[in-house]
Structure formats: structure tokens, C-alpha cells
């Protein structure tokens, strides 16, 4: 079957018509994805904004001008040199978080809203940082962010853009200033370390002083208590000896014997050049016996009289009680003690005479200790009157 030229033209027309229909259908059907808005123009004028979903357009009459992303966008701008109030150039890197709220305004109010936001950020940042010094710039990030956000949000509102957040990524001062800052920080840290060390030493010394103080107080209290206890023990010992002596009613001969026993110890001193035996030895014994409450020595002037029978009975009763308290310990025979005392007295007198002869000085019993030969004797000191006894 032969194809005529007319049929060929008809086939070509049908093919072109089919292609036109397919193209028209493609242009008429639009599927808008989520978080995207399409700006549609009809015959060159704004017609409508297509929301996410399926839409039909008039082919060759309606035209999609632009698609706008409605999600929040993050734009990082390159570092910008900014001069502070103290004439230092710092490099500040910023990050802007924004979102498009009106796609029509974002398309028709400004040619490129991202570029506009960048330039507005740079100028606003210079105005804000230009009123601060370097230290305020480094420590006032939140204040700078708040001022930038307020200015940008006000300026970009007519563009259909809302600035959600502005952050300063970095603030880089000059290298010389960085070196000075590092030295300052190092000096500040050294100062803090020195202060902390001094405070530690101070606390240590305070605690040491308090410990020494408490130790000294406790030691003093212990010494005081020990002295009090020692004094109490000595007092009790003296009282017991005194009570035992008075309870036992010692004989004057026994007291004389004890007195004579101490004389050789006095004469044995290495520094003694002259030893004097008192002449009133018997009277001294009588005074000692009287001081201990004894009955005195018979035949000695000034000696107390013999006790009465009642006093003798009382003395015997006290002596028996003392003997009982002392466990029945027997005393030395008075006659034998007196003889022994006389022998020791004679030996001591002989030693004293020999010592005086060796020193070239005559021995005179009437001389007092420390008196030179040839000097008049020192008158004896009268005894003090007895103290009144308490009732």
C-alpha cells in the first residue's frame, strides 16, 4: 500500500499534536513537595503560591517563577575584620539561623535575601563591636548576639525572613594581643597559685599554733594536777608523821638521839672549815621536846613540868593506839638511845676541836657560827612568845 504525501503530512501533524498534548499535560500538573513553596506567575504577573501537594496549571499561561525552601537554614559567613573602641582589629566569624515565613516577599522584595542578610550582619556587627573594647568584646558574646538578632529580625521582616539566632563562632584578636593576653592569663594564674599557697601556709601555721597551744595547756594542766597530787601526798605524809609522833608521845631522850644523829652529817660537809657545837644543847633538846608536845627534860631550866597522871594516862592511850596503827612496831630503849647519842656527841665534839686546831684557831664553844676569835659574843636572840592556841 502506497502512502501518499497527504498521508505523510497528516501523520506528522498528529505526531506534533500528540507531543503538544503531552507537553501541556506535563506543564499543567505540578506536585509540590513538603516544606517547599512555589511562586506561580500568570502572563508575567504573580498569580498564587502553591502549597505542598498536587496542583493543576494552565499550560503556557501559568509559569513557576521560583521555589522557596521553608525550612530553617544555617548560613556561615566568612570572618570579617572589625575595629573595637580601643582601635584593635579583631576577626569575627558569624553564623545565622533563619527561615522564610513569606515566600512571595522573599522572591519579590529582595533579589537575594541571603546576600542581604550577610551584608546586614557585617554592618550591624561593626556598629555593635565598635562601641566596645577588646575585653568587653571577648566577654559579651550573648549581648552581641542579642543586638545582632534584634537588628536583623527588624530589617529582614519585610523580606519575609525571620532570623531565629545569631552566633559568633570565633573572635580572633591580633597575634601581638594574643601574646599579651597569654602573659596576662599566666600572671593571673601565678598570682592565684601564690595566694592559694599563702593561704595554705597560713592555715597550716594556724593549726600548728593551735595544736601547740592546746598541747602546752594540757601539759600545764597535767603538771598542775601532778603538783597538787604530790603536795597532797606530802601533806598527808606530814600529817601522818605528825599524828604518829603526837600519838606516840615520844620521849625527850629519843628526840635528843635523833638530833645528835644529824650532827655528824652537818660536820661531814666538804665546804665546812669550822664547825661549832652549841653550848645550850640540852636547852635546845628541851625546846624540841616541848615543840613536839613532850614532857621535857628533867633538871633543865625552862623545861616543861612532868605531866599529870591524867595526861600520862591519855598519853599512854594515844601511844597504844599509835602502836596499834603502826602495826605494833617497837621503839628504841631511851637509855640506850641516850648513851649512843652521848657517844656520838663526844665524837663530834672531838672532830670539831681537831678541825679548829688544824685551822690555827682556838675552839671556843661559846662562839657562834661565823664569829671571829676575839670578838665579843653575840647575845642570844630571845625566843618568840608562843602563839596563842585556838580553842
The last residue of one of the domains, among 47, 69, 91, is: 69
Higher-scoring residue by pLDDT: 133, 297: 133
pLDDT attached to residue 347: 76
pLDDT attached to residue 348: 67
The parent domain of residue 47 ranges over 5-69
Q: Residue 220 pLDDT > 60, yes or no?
A: yes
> Are 259 and 346 contained in the same domain?
yes
**374 inside domain:** no
Comparing 4-8, 34-38, 195-199, the range with the smallest average pLDDT is 4-8
CA-CA distance, 154 to 367, in Å (whole number)? 128
> Are 65 and 83 contained in the same domain?
no
pLDDT attached to residue 276: 54
Average per-residue pLDDT in the chain? 75
Number of domains in the chain: 3
Q: Which pLDDT band, with edges at 50, 70 and 90, does 353 fall under?
A: low
Full-model pTM: 0.45
> Are 110 and 20 contained in the same domain?
no
CA-CA distance, 179 to 222, in Å (whole number)? 64
**80 inside domain:** yes
Name which of 259, 278, 263 is nearest 347 in CA terms. Answer: 263
Q: Residue 40 pLDDT > 50, yes or no?
A: yes
**198 inside domain:** no
> Are 112 and 59 contained in the same domain?
no
**324 inside domain:** yes
> Are 82 and 37 contained in the same domain?
no
- Strand ranges (E), 148-287: 161-172
Highest mean pLDDT among 193-207, 288-302, 363-377: 193-207
Rg (CA), the chain: 65
| Portion of the chain with pLDDT greater than 70, in percent | 64
> Are 39 and 123 contained in the same domain?
no
Q: Residue 146 pLDDT > 60, yes or no?
A: yes
> Are 84 and 58 contained in the same domain?
no
> Are 353 and 254 contained in the same domain?
yes
Comparing 16-30, 124-138, 337-351, the range with the smallest average pLDDT is 337-351
**111 inside domain:** yes
The last residue of one of the domains, among 118, 145, 173, is: 173
CB 68 within 8 A of CB 36: yes
> Are 290 and 332 contained in the same domain?
yes
Residue 257 CB contacts under 8 Å (≥ 6 apart), including other chains: 332, 337, 338, 340, 341
Higher-scoring residue by pLDDT: 247, 227: 227
The last residue of one of the domains, among 147, 173, 199, is: 173
> Are 80 and 56 contained in the same domain?
no
For residue range 87-145, list pLDDT tens digits in order.
Answer: 888 888 889 999 999 999 999 988 888 898 889 988 888 888 888 888 888 888 888 88
Q: Which pLDDT band, with edges at 50, 70 and 90, does 74 fall under?
A: very high
Instruction: State residue 28 phi and psi, 5-degree precision.
Output: -80, -25
Pull the grid cell for residue 326: 603502826
**300 inside domain:** yes
**234 inside domain:** no
> Are 117 and 152 contained in the same domain?
yes
**101 inside domain:** yes
Q: Report how far Cα 250 is from the mean position of its chain's Cα atoms.
A: 69
Higher-scoring residue by pLDDT: 116, 293: 116
For residue 109, give the CATH number of its domain: 3.30.479.30
Name which of 299, 265, 307, 258 is nearest 282 in CA terms. Answer: 299
Residue 146, CA distances (Å) to 150, 153, 165 in order: 6, 11, 8
Q: Which pLDDT band, with edges at 50, 70 and 90, does 384 fall under?
A: very low
Four-CA torsion 50, 53, 59, 65, nearest 10 degrees: 30
> Are 10 and 108 contained in the same domain?
no
For residue range 246-274, list pLDDT tens digits in order.
Answer: 777 666 666 667 666 776 666 665 555 55
pLDDT attached to residue 215: 92
User: What average pLDDT score do residues 310-331 get?
Assistant: 50
CB-count burial class (<10 Å; 0-12, 13-18, 19+) for 374: exposed
Comparing 39-48, 161-170, 179-188, 360-369, the range with the smallest average pLDDT is 360-369
pLDDT attached to residue 205: 93
Q: Are strands 62-69 and 89-100 parallel, antiparallel or unpaired?
A: unpaired
Amino acid at each position: 500500500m502506497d502512502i501518499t504525501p497527504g498521508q505523510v503530512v497528516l501523520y506528522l501533524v498528529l505526531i506534533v499534536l500528540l507531543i503538544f498534548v503531552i507537553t501541556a499535560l506535563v506543564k499543567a500538573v505540578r506536585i509540590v513537595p513538603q516544606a517547599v513553596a512555589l511562586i506561580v506567575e500568570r502572563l508575567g504577573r504573580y498569580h498564587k503560591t502553591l502549597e505542598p501537594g498536587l496542583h493543576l496549571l494552565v499550560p503556557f499561561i501559568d509559569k513557576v517563577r521560583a521555589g522557596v525552601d521553608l525550612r530553617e537554614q544555617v548560613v556561615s559567613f566568612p570572618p570579617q575584620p572589625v575595629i573595637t573602641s580601643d582601635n584593635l582589629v579583631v576577626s569575627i566569624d558569624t553564623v545565622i539561623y533563619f527561615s522564610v515565613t513569606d515566600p512571595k516577599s522573599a522572591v519579590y522584595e529582595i533579589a537575594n535575601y541571603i546576600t542581604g542578610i550577610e551584608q546586614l550582619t557585617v554592618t550591624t556587627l561593626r556598629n555593635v563591636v565598635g562601641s566596645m573594647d577588646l575585653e568587653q568584646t571577648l566577654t559579651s558574646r550573648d549581648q552581641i548576639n542579642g543586638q545582632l538578632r534584634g537588628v536583623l529580625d527588624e530589617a529582614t521582616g519585610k523580606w519575609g525572613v525571620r532570623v531565629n539566632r545569631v552566633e559568633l563562632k570565633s573572635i580572633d584578636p591580633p597575634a601581638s594581643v594574643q601574646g599579651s593576653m597569654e602573659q596576662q592569663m599566666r600572671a593571673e594564674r601565678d598570682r592565684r597559685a601564690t595566694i592559694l599557697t599563702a593561704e595554705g601556709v597560713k592555715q597550716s601555721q594556724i593549726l600548728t599554733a593551735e595544736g601547740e597551744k592546746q598541747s602546752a595547756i594540757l601539759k600545764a594542766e597535767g603538771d598542775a594536777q601532778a603538783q597538787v597530787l604530790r603536795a597532797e601526798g606530802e601533806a598527808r605524809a606530814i600529817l601522818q608523821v605528825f599524828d604518829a609522833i603526837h600519838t606516840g608521845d615520844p620521849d625527850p631522850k629519843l628526840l635528843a638521839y635523833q638530833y645528835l644523829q644529824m650532827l655528824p652529817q652537818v660536820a661531814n660537809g666538804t665546804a665546812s672549815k669550822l664547825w661549832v657545837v652549841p653550848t645550850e644543847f640540852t636547852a635546845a633538846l628541851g625546846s624540841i621536846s616541848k615543840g613536839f608536845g613532850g614532857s621535857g627534860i628533867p633538871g633543865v631550866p625552862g623545861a616543861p613540868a612532868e605531866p599529870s597522871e591524867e595526861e600520862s594516862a591519855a598519853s599512854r592511850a594515844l601511844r597504844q593506839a599509835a602502836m596499834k596503827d603502826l602495826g605494833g612496831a617497837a621503839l628504841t630503849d631511851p637509855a640506850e638511845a641516850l648513851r649512843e647519842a652521848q657517844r656520838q656527841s663526844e665524837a663530834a665534839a672531838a672532830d670539831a676541836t681537831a678541825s679548829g686546831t688544824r685551822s690555827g684557831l682556838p675552839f671556843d664553844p661559846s662562839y657562834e657560827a661565823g664569829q671571829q676569835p676575839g670578838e665579843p659574843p653575840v647575845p642570844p636572840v630571845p625566843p618568840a612568845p608562843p602563839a596563842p592556841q585556838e580553842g
